[in-house]
Structures are given as structure tokens and as C-alpha cells.
Structure 1
Amino acid sequence: MTTLGLIGYGAIARDIVSAFPPDAVDWLMLLREGASPELPANVSVVARIEQLIEAKPLAVVEAASQGAVATYIPALLEAGIPTVVASVGALADATLHARIAAAGRSGGARLILPAGALGGLDYLRAIAALPDARVRYTSRKPPTAWEAELASLGLSAERDAVTLFEGTPAEAASAYPKNLNAAFAVALAVGAEKVTVRVIADPKATGNSHEIEAESAAGTALFSMVNAPSPGNPKTSALTALSLVAALRDLLDMDLLDMGGRR
């Protein structure tokens, strides 16, 4: 049995657990004190990061929040535990980003930032060095995904699309800490200073749409992805959990090779 750690137990985390055979993985889940969700038999709960570290999981997946990244990830990396982070928007905080990078160097552990709901990040990394590179990322979702936000602004998107936000990746990560991690994944790939972010509630949207428009001396590119929403959370693409699972599988394969192929 392989022991893996998990921070949080929302829709994404449940999908991650279900993607691995229950007789192959023991999950140790870090949850806040008092939380008592119904859990599969191969999932145990701890309430303190020290308990998770003491168990020495082969890797940990953060699937909770930007706050969880700040609170727990440096300690895991310093302890030498590789970590896959879902809430990449937390790295919009330059101080936290530097602290996490230092923790990874200190503990010799890898921080894995998966693509999440996106594709095309390899192209963006390729043009990142070009000074004229400019990128616009647009998140377009049905109004049902933004009901609370539309109501708070006194807006309706029943007939026409409504732009809820336009600004920098850091502003987007702050304004929508649970929903725009994809925007900051773009920023990490090409450089935040080159990126503009838009959020649109669109009644014609058939899923969670991600549009990346890039221009540079190397040419122009348009990436458009329409992802089915997660059944447990319409604001999140089902592809997010699949991306985290793929990143974790890659990490485990590398670690198992480092261990001489023992399984």
C-alpha cells in the first residue's frame, strides 16, 4: 500500500481519491478540527500538519484553498514531502511564492503545479522570453456558476453576457480565490506582467470555457477549451481533478523509479 496525503475534502478531492484503487492507496487527509465528512474506508483523518508529516506520505495533494497553500505547503516541502498544488492562485503573493521556493530548496522536495483546466501552457512558456508577448485569458461560464457574484452586483446574465472582471492575474486571484487558479497558471507560464484576465458570465456558454489569446514576435495563437463542470461544483471544471490525478501519477512513477522500482 502507498500512503498519500490530501489537504481538504471537497469535490476535487473526492474525485482524486476515487481515481485510485482503494486497495492500492491509503489516504491521510488533513481536515480542520471538527470536520466529519463521510469517508471511504481507505481514508483516515488528521487535524494537524505535524501528524501528516510524521506519517511520511510519498506525496501530498492540496485541494482546499489558497489559505491552505500558505498555511501548510512550506512545512511539507521543508520536510522533504513532494506536493501537488491545486490552488496555484496563492502564488500571486510574491512573498509566499518566495517562501515556498525556499522551502522546496531546503527540503529538497518538488512542488508540482499542474495545468488544471488548461492546455497550451507549453506554448506560453516558449514565448515567455519575448519582450513583446501579450496574453489575454478569458474565463467564460454559465450564469449558474456566478449566481452569487451577479446578485451582489445587481446584474443579470439571463439574456446577454456580462463581464464580471477584467484586470491583472494577481487581482483575479484575490477577487476569485476559489475559481481563477487557471488564470494564474497562465501567469506562471508566461509572466504575470504580460497577462490580462477577464471573467464572463455567458448564458450561451455550454460549459466552463477557457480562452487564451497570445501575440508575440513568434506569431499568434488562440487556445479554446470548453470543459464540463464538476458534478460537485459548477464553478470548477471536471478536468481539474483529472489534471491533479495525472500530475500525481507522474510524480509517483518518478518516486517509485527513484526507489528502484519497488511497488
Structure 2
Amino acid sequence: MSRRRIALIGFGSIAGDLAPALLARTAPGYELGVLLPPESESRVRVPEGCALLADCEELRAFGPEIVVEAAGHEAVRKSVPQCLALGLPVLISSIGALHDEALFAGLVKTAKASGGRILLPSGALGGVDYVRAVRDATSLALRYESHKPPAAWREELVKRGHDPATLAEPVTLFRGNAREAAATYPLNLNVAAALALAGPGFEKVEVAVICDPAARGNSHAITVDCEYGTMRTEITNAPSPSNPKTSWIVSRSLLAAIEQYFSPVMML
């Protein structure tokens, strides 16, 4: 069997973690293309053997079986629509961008018209299957609390007059719903957006964002209460070595989603 062709949009910390893992896989293995503009400084970090793609026309010629967005919200706005228009399935890492109702509706419309598909990974999150199963419960209460160490919120803390190096007590940075959270912290609240899309919608997910000097990693606490049952889960993810704002598990979630996509057995 020939190797599967995958195109990555962007080459930041997530793609930098994902690409070596994909290239190490065998039987059948993966052939990678990376979509980056010619002037991008990230091009020098792309592993040897990966095809460098300057635009969506070169991506189309590369012929990927699936496209993986790992470049942030701007890529969801600019590159993902073009890929969907080519009829390609796109695995979106920056789920927080979908808090923009007009953007999300436009992507869905493009996918329907072209035969493309929007694929959403669980990312740093666990329990998405349970949330999806209870999304229509009449008494559903869904709460999400994020705890990250000061290194992940350095700029925000300084802006609020805190010294990240000497912070001694937790600081609550945000309380509100998932749409407000994703709009306020677009680079940090992909988990809240994933819960909203799997569950009852952005307005019905309660979110708290806490910077905690005692946090040993990026922690996600989810509480579900409804007539079908309850769920309490807490996950603490190690931060990516190259970006403390990103959980290391995110790249592994994308890897798992890609392998699930190509597998003859699918767990839903």
C-alpha cells in the first residue's frame, strides 16, 4: 500500500511535534506537505523530505488525502475555506476560531457545496464522547475550568499589574460563557470551543480561566450534570516544550485523529 499523503497548514509548535511522529510511522506511513508562504521563517524548520507548498494551488497539486490546520485562527479564516473548496477533509486544530458564527457557517456551506469535510479533534480535552451524548439533555449544566501556570499567561499577568515570577495566589482571568472566552483568549481557549461544539453550544457552556502558580501543567476540569447522569473529570497536560501555552497532548490528539481517519475501524 502506498503512503498516505497529508498536508499540514503551518509549522509552529503543534506541527513541529506532529510531523516527526507522522514520519516515524510505517505500514503504510505518511508523505507530508507543509503549506507555508515563501517568506515564512518556519520553512527552515520543516524536516527534510517534506514537500514545501507555497499556496493552495501547490497543495492541490500535491494531492493530500487530508489537510491538518495547525497555524492558528487566521489560517482557519484564510486557508481552510480554500482547502474545503477543493473538496478536501480538513482537521482543524484551532477550534476556538469557530466561535465566530459567520465564519463557521461559511465553512459549513463551503464543505457542503464541495464535498469537503470539517473534522474537529478532541485536542487537550477528554470526555468529549460523553458531552456529545448528553448534549440534548433538558437539564444539562456544563462547566469548564482552566488552570495554567504563570508561564502560560505571562503577558496577560503583566498587563493586569502582576509579576509572573512572584505570583503567590491564583488569579481568575475570566468568567463567562464559551463564546466570550474564545473571543477574549483566541489562542488559549480551544478546549472551551470544543466543549461547546460537542455539547449544547457556546452560550451554554460556563467557563472559568485561572492562572495558578501551583499548577504543574495545563489543567482542564469539566463538570456535567443532567438527567442522564454526571461526569467529573480533570486532566493535567504537560505543556509543549516549545510553547507553554499549548499542551503537548494536542499534537498526539491530531495524530490519533489522523490514524482514526485512515483506520478500517472507527471509534465514535
- Please report the TM-score for the alignment, with normalisation by the length of structure 1: 0.91
RMSD: 1.7
Which residue, 160, 171, 174 being the options, matches 2:180?
Answer: 171
Match of 2:125 among 118, 136, 156: 118
Identify which range, 78-87 or 47-56, moves more after superposition. 47-56
Letter in 2 for 1:58: E
> What pairs with 1:1-263 in structure 2 (closer than 5 Å)?
1-21=3-23, 24-35=29-40, 36-156=43-163, 158-191=167-200, 192-253=202-263
Provide the C-alpha distance between the structure 2 equivalents of 1:4 and 1:219, rounded to a whole number of angstroms.
39
Whether the aligned pair in 2 keeps the contact of 1:56 and 1:81 (CA below 8 Å) is no
Residue 207 of structure 1, CA deviation: 0.8
| d(CA) in 1 for partners of 2:45, 2:225 | 48
**Shift in Å, 1:63:** 0.3
Task: Answer yes or no: is the 8 Å Cα contact 2:13–2:243 preserved in 1.
Answer: yes
* Pairwise CA distance, 1:25: 2.6
Give the CA deviation at 1:64: 0.5
Q: Distance in 2 between matches of 1:187 and 1:117?
A: 14
Task: Tell me by how many angstroms 1:246 deviates.
Answer: 0.6
- Counterpart of 2:180 in structure 1: which amino acid? E
1:168 is aligned with what amino acid?
Answer: N
Please state how far the C-alpha of 1:156 moved relative to its aligned partner: 4.3
Give the conservation status (yes or no) of the 8 Å contact 1:163–1:200: yes
SS in 2 for 1:114: coil
Cα distance in 2, alignment partners of residues 181 and 168 from structure 1: 13
TM-score normalised by length of structure 2: 0.90
8 A Cα contact 1:163 1:201, kept in partner: yes
Can you list the C-alpha shifts for 1:23-51, whole angstroms capped at 9, x where unaligned?
A: 83332111134113232112122221222
Q: 1:27 is aligned with what amino acid?
A: L
Q: For each residue in 1:204-230, what CA deviation from the matched residue of structure 2 results, as whole angstroms up to 9, or x when unmatched?
A: 111110001122222332110011111
Task: Give the gaps of 5 or more residues in structure 2.
Answer: none
Superposed CA deviations along residues 226-262 of structure 1, whole A, max 9, x for unmatched, are 111111111111111000011011112359xxxxxxx
Cα contact 2:11–2:46 (8 A) shared by 1? no
Equivalent residues of 1:118, 1:225 under 8 A apart: yes
May I ask how many residue pairs the two structures share in their alignment? 255
3-state SS, counterpart of residue 168 of structure 2: coil
**Alpha-carbon distance in 2 for matches of 1:38, 1:65:** 18
Q: How many angstroms apart in 2 are the aligned matches of 1:139 and 1:59? A: 31
Quote the offset at 1:91 in angstroms: 1.0
Letter in 2 for 1:160: E
Alignment correspondent of 1:259:
none
Q: Displacement of 1:189 after TM fit?
A: 1.2
Distance 1:28 1:254 in 2: 24
Distance 1:183 1:243 in 2: 16
Which digits, 9 at most, give the CA deviation of each residue in 1:131-183, with x for residues without a partner?
32111111101111111110011124621100011112111111211111011
Determine the C-alpha separation between the residues in 2 that align with 1:218 and 1:232: 41
% identical aligned pairs: 41
One-letter code aligned to 1:174: A
